[in-house]
Amino acid sequence: MTGYRYSAALALLALAAPYAAADNGALLASQCYQCHGPNGRSKGEIDTIAGKSASDIYGDMREMQQKPDVDIMHAQARIYTDAELRAIANYLATLR
Amino acid sequence: MDIKRRNLLRFAGLGAAATAAGIAPTLTRVGAVEAAPVVRKVVVIGGGFGGSTVAKYLKLWGQAQVEVTHVSLASTYVSPILSNLVLNGQKSLASLTFNLQTAATKLGIRFVAGSAAIDRGARLVRVTHDNGTETLLDYDKVVLSPGIAFNTLPSMLAANRGIAGGKLPIPHAWQAGPQVGNLKAQIDRMPSSSGVFVLCIPKAPYRCPPGPYERACVVADILKRVKRGGRVVIFDANAPTNPADKYTAIQAEQHTFSTAFTGAYGSIVEYVPNATLLEVGTTGGQFGTKTARVRLGDGSVRTQTCNVLNVLPEHKAGAIAFAADLIPVGQRFVPVDQQSYASLADPDIHVIGDAHDSKQPKAGHVANSEAKVCADAIVREFGILPPRTAEEVPVTNSACYSPISSTTASWLTVGFRYDPVSRQMVRIDASLAEAEQPSGDNYKMMLAWANNLFADTFSV
Ligand SMILES: Cc1cc2nc3c(=O)[nH]c(=O)nc-3n(C[C@H](O)[C@H](O)[C@H](O)COP(=O)(O)OP(=O)(O)OC[C@H]3O[C@@H](n4cnc5c(N)ncnc54)[C@H](O)[C@@H]3O)c2cc1C
């Protein structure tokens, strides 16, 4: 390594759950963080989505995907395929 | 395996190039590479929504195998998002200012303040500091998120020449900073009940499609509430899609904004589409009188005198993208491979955010989203993660919340998915939605969204 002091930073990044295995759950889930906060931990009124069970998140997303409600989260749910929703839910469930 | 071998070869090339340029390469242990883990160098240029996000996620996903150097003009960045709330005093510029050095320290990356230029031949980024000294950075990849620059009318350049942003007679205030404070001061000085504010909107594409209409609403709200009257004249260079309905020239949230312009602000806002700005003039400086001369759709010319003239000039990519020769003649933004954001002119320079060319809007939330797709693509190209499978297709999302008054807001959201046939990021129609009406609840959600977006982007 060429020069930087990584130690403290690496510890912090390790806590922040690095990439798991070979699916793109980490990338897809990171597309929730703009609204739900880094690693799914919200700073305020919008719900924290880290640490819920995969089946809860997947169930919520499927339900929102299928309902015609005009709100921002229902629209967001319609972005993803079923396989993507599973990858997202599985990844978010690892962020305890 | 293939990827690894390709990178080894590339490293051999890098060593040679750096040596040829007379720079001591820090990574020439080509022979020893099998033993020591290879560390790839990425230089990220731009401290805004795209650049700050990509720097963070490259480190997060590349860990010790990626050495990230983050370069931006200054060690702080002021967010344009929420900056219209500076105009009505609900936000301060300080509350929208983020420290890039502090973020870098948290992330374990290096931050360098200064103006960057890319020497593609020598594979070097040259950073010129305020005091005239330079830092040279060699790279395996550059990620560029320089934002926008403007094609400004000669008469506007002349009116503003030699004057600092905080005192310009004709500000754009479309990059946050002193110009936003200037615009607020000009609004504060408008006379009660009889002031005129002119807003000139450029042809699309420009930064934040709903942004100009949002600004018109915030200013109209100030005139209505605080000044007890006055006018906002909007000259929009865009043409209606339906000639029978002028409000179809509005570039985003047509329902929300046409309702505001004809309803709550009906006695204040005059909306003029198809209006091409020809010339501006000023007398009396920052707080003096201004004029805008525009050509209208029917070919006639109108001259409007006003207290405040806020011109958003035509947009183009930040100057560094032109200097690095990444933009074909006649174009204004950088064409990229939309799976990885690699420039079509140079596969080792990735361009995200407002400066790149795609159907995704020029906006900060989606720049954050593009940055993650880009970081993922680079980490995979380095061989740190396996290549994407056919199912692992880039997906991004955009969201804008717009204040409509001091207590209400609207929102707009949409997703994009990579289409391998057209090789473009394509809008997912089912995911396109906008607020049915402005509300206080949306206003609260706007602040909550921005806090999370800022936290994700700037590590605050
Ligand atoms: C009023 C307003 C409201 C908005 N609201 C929203 C919203 O609700 N939602 C949304 O998503 N977006 C919104 N936006 C748009 C958003 O702010 C921009 O799209 C976003 O900032 C673009 O990010 P970027 O990384 O491409 O560029 P920028 O954020 O402009 O960052 C570019 C950075 O690069 C630096 N730089 C450029 N060239 C060099 C160089 N050569 N060397 C070193 N540094 C360099 C610049 O100094 C700057 O710090 C809004 C914009 C405005 C004006």
Q: Are residues B158 and B302 in the same domain?
A: yes
Separation in Å, CA of B102 to nearest CA in chain A: 12
Residue from B87, B208, B213, B398 to probe ligand 1 pocket by mutation (most atoms less than 8 Å from CB): B208
Q: Are residues B143 and B156 in the same domain?
A: no
Q: Are residues B164 and B298 in the same domain?
A: yes
Q: What's the whole-number mean pLDDT along residues B28-32?
A: 42
pLDDT digit string, tens, across residues B240-265:
999 999 999 999 999 999 999 999 99
Q: Give the whole-number percent of chain B exceeding pLDDT 90.
A: 92
Q: Are residues B158 and B172 in the same domain?
A: yes
If interface means Cβ-Cβ distance under 8 Å, which residues of chain A face chain B?
1-2, 4-6, 8-10, 12-13, 16, 18-19, 22-24, 26-28, 30-31, 33-38, 42-46, 70-72, 74-76, 78-80, 83-84
Q: Looking at the domain assignment, is residue B337 inside a domain? A: yes
- Sign of the CA dihedral running B24, B27, B33, B35: positive
Q: Do A8 and B63 touch (CB under 8 A)?
A: no
Q: Are residues B172 and B252 in the same domain?
A: yes
pLDDT confidence of residue A5:
33
- Sign of the CA dihedral running B358, B333, B366, B127: positive
Q: What's the whole-number mean pLDDT along residues B57-84?
A: 98
Tell me how far apart the alpha carbons of residues B311 and B173 are, in angstroms, rounded to a whole number: 9
Q: Are residues B89 and B162 in the same domain?
A: no
Say what the ipTM of the complex is: 0.90
- Helix and strand tally (H, E) in chain B? 11, 25
Q: Phi, psi (5° rounding) for residue A76?
A: -60, -45
pLDDT confidence of residue A96:
77
Q: Are residues B234 and B111 in the same domain?
A: no
Q: Is the pLDDT of residue A18 over 50?
A: no
pLDDT digit string, tens, across residues B386-443:
999 999 999 999 999 999 999 999 999 999 999 999 999 999 999 999 999 999 999 9
Beta strand pairing call for B342-343 and B308-311: unpaired
Q: Are residues B183 and B250 in the same domain?
A: yes
Q: Looking at the domain assignment, is residue B323 inside a domain? A: yes
Among candidate residues B390, B418, B442, the one where a domain is terminated: B390
Separation in Å, CA of B269 to nearest CA in chain A: 28
pLDDT digit string, tens, across residues B75-118:
999 999 999 999 999 999 999 999 999 999 999 999 999 999 99
Q: Are residues B243 and B299 in the same domain?
A: yes
Q: Looking at the domain assignment, is residue B452 inside a domain? A: no
User: What rounded mean pLDDT belongs to chain B?
Assistant: 93
Q: Are residues B220 and B338 in the same domain?
A: no
Q: Looking at the domain assignment, is residue B402 inside a domain? A: no
- Sign of the CA dihedral running A35, A39, A44, A46: positive
Ligand 1 nearest-atom number relative to CA B46: 34
For chain B, the domain total comes to 2
CATH of the domain at B376: 3.50.50.60
pLDDT band at B30 (very low <50, low <70, confident <90, very high): very low
Q: Looking at the domain assignment, is residue B438 inside a domain? A: no
Q: Are residues B164 and B135 in the same domain?
A: no
Task: Count other Cβ atoms within 10 Å, centred on residue B339.
Answer: 17
* CB-count burial class (<10 Å; 0-12, 13-18, 19+) for B414: buried
* CB-count burial class (<10 Å; 0-12, 13-18, 19+) for A93: buried
Centre of ligand 1 from the C-alpha of residue B233, in Å = 26
pLDDT band at A54 (very low <50, low <70, confident <90, very high): very high
Separation in Å, CA of A42 to nearest CA in chain B: 6
Tell me how far apart the alpha carbons of residues B356 and B351 are, in angstroms, rounded to a whole number: 6
**Residue B444 half-sphere exposure toward CB, CA atoms < 13 A:** 6
For chain A, the domain total comes to 1
Interior angle at CA B15, CA B12 and CA B17, nearest 5: 110
Ligand 1 nearest-atom number relative to CA B361: 19
Q: Looking at the domain assignment, is residue B403 inside a domain? A: no
Instruction: Give the residue numbers spanning the domain of A13.
Output: 2-94
Instruction: Give the residue numbers spanning the domain of B81.
Output: 3-147+318-390
Helix (H) or strand (E) segment spanning residue A43: none
Q: Are residues B102 and B226 in the same domain?
A: no
CATH of the domain at A11: 1.10.760.10
pLDDT digit string, tens, across residues B202-213:
999 999 999 999
- Considering only the beta carbons, identify the residue of A19, A31, A33 that sits closest to B395: A31
